[in-house]
């Protein structure tokens, strides 16, 4: 027998689920139940008190959801995972498990608009402050760390300009200051990159995107690499000191490598309640089974579309790290050897009218607010996903009024290119 | 808690304060591990009538000092600490390398040890020379090999139910991260030192034969590190052996079958601590 772990493709199909022991069901059953019958009073008490493994109430855990969590943990090489109601819920769960009012975050300014809003406005209202910095400026990461900083945060591929986060360098800065690095890996998925291999400590996904791939379910997942030494850092009393909300449990004593997940489930999921439903987990598992096949096709199609756009007279620039001209090309070659995903932006020549005509002329691409679907998608960030972001920050993130974001799907690439060509022609006529 | 000894010896007490007046269960982990491998079993027993001391062995995680080079030296240090802490009657539960320490602890404290539980054990516990060399030369690869061999083969190592310590956790990656953490925190010498101690331990059969207390063996049928056949000589040497075999569980028995191990140990504890009729 070879001494190796099962491969990615095998884990994507099997991890977290033996055939159902009761029915023999090969597919993951949907356990549509709010709660679970106890064997007796002792069993009930032991489950509540974390003396035995099992399910009590589906807000805290559910067998279908657990398969999804364990499969994602297996693929990311994390010690465990918690599935959430959305990617935003996963980000919120990570932050509130680590800190409270009076804490500070250093974050990349190239974030999904919703994340930017959460950090810049909503959490600020609850006393958690964020400093946004240029993710390529390593000095800025270090310079922005303060005594009350508790987290560094960025996206593996920044939204929407595809800045490649230099995870090894930023993680090194974080760790020198006794801080963890959280990354949003939605655009890359574990197929293109496993951030824990590069030094990240916590990873989350909007599973609505490539993980599911079908665009039928909203979900998120937060994974702990088990690599960060909370005890050694000394900055995280929520994990290393007794917690009155669970009979004085000291999570770092219970589990050396997974105190973060214990607290996140026993407090954040329990109290905030942004859990995933078993039906959603089932949908996402259907997508996860084909993740490696789909991601490779997404990347292959994206490369063809990028090549087409790069040579078109109506296109001013294409931001895709596979291209030698992209400022992060060398870093992408190192961190993303399989490819840079299938979501990217390009700038059209001409006015806002040209952009609007282009988007409205597309037939195969769907105009909507999502990415990572099997179907190709298009959106105009300045008026939609990033409409709340101030102009100066938009400019700093590389977004102009002419920026168009594409999410390249799994269609025949010739049809995608034909569709883009006819829409660009119409847009040019509209100028 | 820290036991009253120097260098510092840490013990997790299962979420309850240690009470020397209660019957005690002492948990002893294996090579390159710490107390947290017993998370469910130790917490359960601490809430079911026992005092629990789940130790970090010397030089492992929170316990100070260098890792000790022989099983006998580990047993000496632990016996000294247990006496200093005023521990009365106890059972010693050890996994893998910890099972050998449990044997030696019973030899040193025959009046106090009421029973010994040997989980995933073997004698002799020789570590193959190529693996031993890898622990020194390529420790990252060695930890991957150990991790793979510690779990059920192929995909079964990634789909065990119930998950440990609860839904949503990965047994495989928790075990690897724990070994890596100990390497970072305690140094690269821990793993080869532990393995050499296991390989060199020679007194297993005589020690087992001299035991006056009951001995429980908990073995996994998918254990490729210490397969059940490798425990045969020890079982035959014991006067009062009891064998529990857990189907489809690998060397990391406590995480691969947490309920099976908990049930075996708690029934054993109930039996050995039961008042004589």
| A61/B contact by beta carbon, under 8 A | yes
Per-domain residue ranges for chain B?
2-273
The two structure tokens encoding residue A67: 């398969």
Write down the pLDDT at residue A361.
94
Partner residues linked to A317 by β-bridges: A347
Partner residues linked to B220 by β-bridges: B246
Q: Which of A39-48, A76-85, B67-76, B147-156 has the lowest mean pLDDT?
A: B147-156
Mean pLDDT of B211-234: 96
What would the 3-class secondary structure string for chain A be? CCCCCCCHHHHHHHCCCCCCCCCCCCCCCCCCCCECCCCCHHHHHHHHCCCCCCCCECCCCCHHHHHHHHHHHHHHCCCEEEEECCHHHHHHHHHHHHCCCCCEEEEECCCCHHHHHHHHHHHHHCCCEEEEECCCCHHHHHHCCCCCEEEEEEECECCCCCCECCHHHHHHHHHHCCCCEEEECCCCHHHHCCHHHHCCCEEEEECCCCCCCCCCCCCEEEEECCCCCHHHHCCCHHHHCCEHHHCCECHHHHCCCCHHHHHHHHHHHHHHCCECCHHHHHHHHHHHCCHHHHHHHHHHHHHHHHHHHHCCCCEEEEECCCCCCCCCHHHHHHHCCCCCCCEEEEEECCCHHHHHHHHHHCCCCEECCCCCCCCCEEECHHHCCCCCCCHHHHHHCCCCCCEEEEECCCCCHHHHHHHHHHHHHHHHHHC
A8-19+28-287: what fold?
3.40.640
Best residue in A35, A254, A278 for a mutation probing chain B (most B CBs within 10 Å) = A254
- State which residue of chain B sits closest to A77, comparing Cα positions: B173
**CA distance linking residue B67 with residue B70, whole number of Å:** 9
CA distances from B160 to B146, B169, B253 (A): 18, 10, 11
Cα dihedral A122→A128→A134→A135 (10° resolution): -100
Q: Which residue has the higher pLDDT, A390 or A379?
A: A379
| Burial profile B162-171: b = 16 or more Cβ within 10 angstroms, e = fewer | bbbbbbbbbb
Q: How many CB pairs under 8 A join A and B?
A: 151
Is A16 within 8 Å of B158 when comparing Cβ atoms?
A: yes
Residue A386 has pLDDT above 80, yes or no: no
Give chain A's length. 431
pTM of the predicted model as reported, rounded to 2 decimal places: 0.96
Residue B132 has pLDDT above 60, yes or no: yes
Is B174 within 8 Å of A79 when comparing Cβ atoms?
A: yes
| A415/B contact by beta carbon, under 8 A | no
- State which residue of chain B sits closest to A252, comparing Cα positions: B36
- State which residue of chain B sits closest to A53, comparing Cα positions: B166
Mean pLDDT of A279-291: 98
Is A73 within 8 Å of B44 when comparing Cβ atoms?
A: no
Convert the pLDDT of each residue in A77-127 to its tens digit.
999 999 999 999 999 999 999 999 999 999 999 998 899 999 999 999 999
Write down the pLDDT at residue A349.
85
| A15/B contact by beta carbon, under 8 A | yes
Write down the pLDDT at residue A116.
94
**% of chain A residues with pLDDT over 90:** 87
Write down the pLDDT at residue A160.
72
A292-430: what fold?
3.90.1150
Closest CA to A202 of A181, A216, A186: A181
- State which residue of chain A sits closest to B152, comparing Cα positions: A5
ipTM > 0.90, yes or no: yes
Convert the pLDDT of each residue in B186-199 to its tens digit.
999 999 999 999 99
**B199, B126 in Cβ contact below 8 A?**
yes
CA distances from B242 to B215, B219, B235, B272 (A): 6, 11, 8, 12
**CA distance linking residue B268 with residue A12, whole number of Å:** 40
- Partners of A66 on chain B (C-beta within 8 Å) are 163, 167-168
**CA distance linking residue A386 with residue A380, whole number of Å:** 9
Residue A362: phi and psi, rounded to 5, are -70, 140
**CA distance linking residue A19 with residue A37, whole number of Å:** 22
Best residue in A70, A250, A278 for a mutation probing chain B (most B CBs within 10 Å) = A70
B2-273: what fold?
Rossmann fold (3.40.50)
Distance from CA of A74 to the nearest CA of B (A): 7
Convert the pLDDT of each residue in A151-183 to its tens digit.
999 999 997 778 999 999 999 999 999 999 999
Residue B276 has pLDDT above 70, yes or no: no
Whether cis (ω within 30° of 0) applies to the bond prior to B187 is no
Convert the pLDDT of each residue in B165-183 to its tens digit.
999 999 999 999 999 999 9
Convert the pLDDT of each residue in A315-332 to its tens digit.
999 999 999 999 999 999
Write down the pLDDT at residue B206.
97
| B184/A contact by beta carbon, under 8 A | yes
| B170/A contact by beta carbon, under 8 A | yes
The two structure tokens encoding residue A121: 């406005």
- A165 φψ region: left (φ > 0), alpha (ψ -120 to 50), beta (else): beta
**CA distance linking residue A301 with residue A150, whole number of Å:** 39
Residue A236 has pLDDT above 70, yes or no: yes
- Partners of B170 on chain A (C-beta within 8 Å) are 70, 73-74, 78-80
| A402/B contact by beta carbon, under 8 A | no
Mean pLDDT of B57-72: 97
- Partners of A232 on chain B (C-beta within 8 Å) are 185
**CA distance linking residue A346 with residue A327, whole number of Å:** 15
Give B269's contacts (C-beta < 8 A, 6+ positions apart): B23, B25, B45, B50, B91, B115
| CA dihedral (A135, A139, A140, A141) positive or negative | positive
Residue B277 has pLDDT above 70, yes or no: no
Give the SS3 label for residue B131.
helix
Which of A66, A74, A255 shows the shortest C-beta gap to B167? A66
Closest CA to B106 of B95, B90, B121: B90
Convert the pLDDT of each residue in B10-21 to its tens digit.
999 999 999 999
| CA dihedral (B61, B62, B66, B71) positive or negative | negative
- Partners of B172 on chain A (C-beta within 8 Å) are 5, 74
Residue A394 has pLDDT above 90, yes or no: no
Residue A73's CB is within 10 A of a number of other CB atoms, namely: 32
Write down the pLDDT at residue A397.
67
| B34/A contact by beta carbon, under 8 A | yes
Is A265 within 8 Å of B155 when comparing Cβ atoms?
A: no
Residue A2 has pLDDT above 70, yes or no: no
- Partners of A45 on chain B (C-beta within 8 Å) are 47
Per-domain residue ranges for chain A?
8-19+28-287, 292-430
- Partners of A65 on chain B (C-beta within 8 Å) are 167-168
Write down the pLDDT at residue A69.
98
- A191 φψ region: left (φ > 0), alpha (ψ -120 to 50), beta (else): alpha
Residue A289 has pLDDT above 60, yes or no: yes
Q: How would you class A81 by CB atoms within 10 Å of its CB: exposed for 0-12, middle for 13-18, buried for 19 or more?
A: buried
Chain mean pLDDT for chain B: 96
- Partners of B61 on chain A (C-beta within 8 Å) are 256
Give the SS3 label for residue B5.
coil
Closest CA to B85 of B27, B12, B38, B19: B19
Residue B35: phi and psi, rounded to 5, are -60, -25
Half-sphere exposure of B173 (CA within 13 A, CB side): 28
Write down the pLDDT at residue A385.
73
Give the SS3 label for residue B36.
helix
Chain mean pLDDT for chain A: 94
Is A73 within 8 Å of B259 when comparing Cβ atoms?
A: no
């Amino acid at each position: 027998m070879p001494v190796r772990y099962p491969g990615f493709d095998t884990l994507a199909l099997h991890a977290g689920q033996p055939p159902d022991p009761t029915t023999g069901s090969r597919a993951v059953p949907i356990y549509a139940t709010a709660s679970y019958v106890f064997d007796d009073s002792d069993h009930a008490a032991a489950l509540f008190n974390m003396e035995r493994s099992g399910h009590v109430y589906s807000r805290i855990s559910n067998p279908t959801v657990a398969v999804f969590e364990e499969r994602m943990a297996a693929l990311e090489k994390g010690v465990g995972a918690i599935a959430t109601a959305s990617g935003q819920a996963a980000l919120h769960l990570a932050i509130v498990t680590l800190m409270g009012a009076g804490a500070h975050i250093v974050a990349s300014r190239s974030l999904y608009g919703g994340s930017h809003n959460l950090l810049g406005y909503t959490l600020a209202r609850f006393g958690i402050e964020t400093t946004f910095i240029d993710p390529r400026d390593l000095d800025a990461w270090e310079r922005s760390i303060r005594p009350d900083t508790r987290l560094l945060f960025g996206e593996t591929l920044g939204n929407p300009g595809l800045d490649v986060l230099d995870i090894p360098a930023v993680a090194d800065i974080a760790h020198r200051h006794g801080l963890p690095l959280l990354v949003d890996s939605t655009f890359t998925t574990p197929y293109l990159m496993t951030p824990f291999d590069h030094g990240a400590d916590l990873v989350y996904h909007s599973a609505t995107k490539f993980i599911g791939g079908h665009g039928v379910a909203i979900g998120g997942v937060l994974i702990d690499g088990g690599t960060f030494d909370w005890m050694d850092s000394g900055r995280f009393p929520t994990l290393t000191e007794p917690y009155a909300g669970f009979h004085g449990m000291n999570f770092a004593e219970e589990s050396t490598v997974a105190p973060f997940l214990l607290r996140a489930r026993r407090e954040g999921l329990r109290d905030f309640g942004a859990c995933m439903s078993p039906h959603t987990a089932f949908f996402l598992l259907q997508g996860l089974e084909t993740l490696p096949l789909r991601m490779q096709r997404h990347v292959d199609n994206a490369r063809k579309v990028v090549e087409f756009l790069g040579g078109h007279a109506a296109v001013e620039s294409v931001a895709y790290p596979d291209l030698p001209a992209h400022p992060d090309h060398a870093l992408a070659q190192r961190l993303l050897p399989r490819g840079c995903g299938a979501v990217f932006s390009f700038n059209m020549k001409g006015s806002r009218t040209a952009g609007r005509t282009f988007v409205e002329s597309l037939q195969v691409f769907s105009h909507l607010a999502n990415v990572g679907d099997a179907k190709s998608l298009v959106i105009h960030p300045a008026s939609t996903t990033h409409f709340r972001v101030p102009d100066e920050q938009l400019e700093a993130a590389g977004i102009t009024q002419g920026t168009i974001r594409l999410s390249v799907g799994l269609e025949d690439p010739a049809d995608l290119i034909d569709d883009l060509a006819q829409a660009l022609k119409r847009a040019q006529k509209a100028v | 808690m820290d036991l009253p000894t120097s260098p510092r010896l840490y013990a997790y007490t299962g979420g309850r304060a240690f009470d020397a007046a209660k019957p005690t269960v002492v948990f002893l982990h294996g090579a390159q591990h710490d107390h947290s491998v017993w998370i469910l079993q130790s917490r359960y027993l601490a809430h079911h009538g026992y005092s629990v001391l789940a130790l970090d062995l010397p030089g492992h995680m929170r316990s100070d000092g260098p890792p000790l080079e022989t099983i006998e030296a580990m047993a000496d240090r632990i016996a000294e600490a247990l006496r200093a802490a005023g521990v009365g009657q106890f059972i010693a539960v050890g996994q893998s390398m910890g099972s050998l320490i449990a044997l030696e602890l019973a030899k040193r404290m025959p009046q106090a040890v009421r029973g010994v539980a040997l989980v995933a054990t073997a004698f002799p516990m020789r570590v193959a020379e190529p693996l031993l060399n890898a622990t020194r030369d390529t420790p990252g690869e060695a930890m991957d090999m150990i991790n793979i061999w510690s779990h059920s083969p192929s995909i079964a190592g990634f789909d065990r139910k119930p998950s440990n310590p609860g839904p949503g956790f990965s047994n495989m990656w928790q075990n690897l991260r724990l070994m890596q953490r100990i390497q970072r925190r305690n140094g690269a010498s821990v793993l080869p030192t532990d393995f050499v101690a296991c390989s060199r331990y020679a007194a297993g059969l005589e020690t087992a034969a001299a035991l006056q207390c009951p001995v429980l063996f908990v073995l996994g049928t998918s254990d490729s590190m210490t397969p059940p056949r490798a425990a045969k000589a020890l079982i035959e040497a014991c006067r009062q052996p009891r064998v529990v075999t857990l189907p489809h569980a690998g060397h990391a028995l406590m995480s691969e079958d947490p309920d099976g191990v908990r049930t075996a140990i708690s029934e054993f504890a109930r039996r050995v601590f039961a008042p004589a009729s």
